[in-house]
Amino acid sequence: MKIALFALLGLMLGAIGGAALGIGAGLAWIEVFKTTDFEGYSGMLVFFSFMPAGAMIGALGGAAWFGIMAARDDEIAVESESVMHQERR
């Protein structure tokens, strides 16, 4: 269950981060390739092409990364061993 919850968290955070990176990549594309701004074409290109693509890639990558990290118990230290030993006494 922990793996699934971490994967969902990674999915959400990855989608947000990927969308932000997609917007940045789209704005860079417009500047580098001098995309026309006739009737808002450049804005539609960024928000209907680059942002969703970045969100999808980020969501998949975030879910996979968080899922793999949650599957490895030794990578995520929620409590240190000394705290666990003190509670048992």
pLDDT in tens, 9-40: 999 999 999 999 999 999 999 999 998 989 99
- Going from N- to C-terminal start, the domains of the chain cover 2-88
Q: What whole-number percentage of the chain has pLDDT above 90?
A: 67
| pTM value > 0.85 | no
Q: Would you list the DSSP string of 26-74?
A: HHHHHHHHT---GGGHHHHHIIIIIHHHHHHHHHHHHHHHHHHHHH-TT
pLDDT tier, 5 (very low <50, low <70, confident <90, very high otherwise): very high
Calculate mean pLDDT across residues 42-60: 96
Q: Residue 71: pLDDT band by 50, 70, 90 thresholds? A: confident
Q: What is the mean pLDDT of residues 52-60?
A: 97
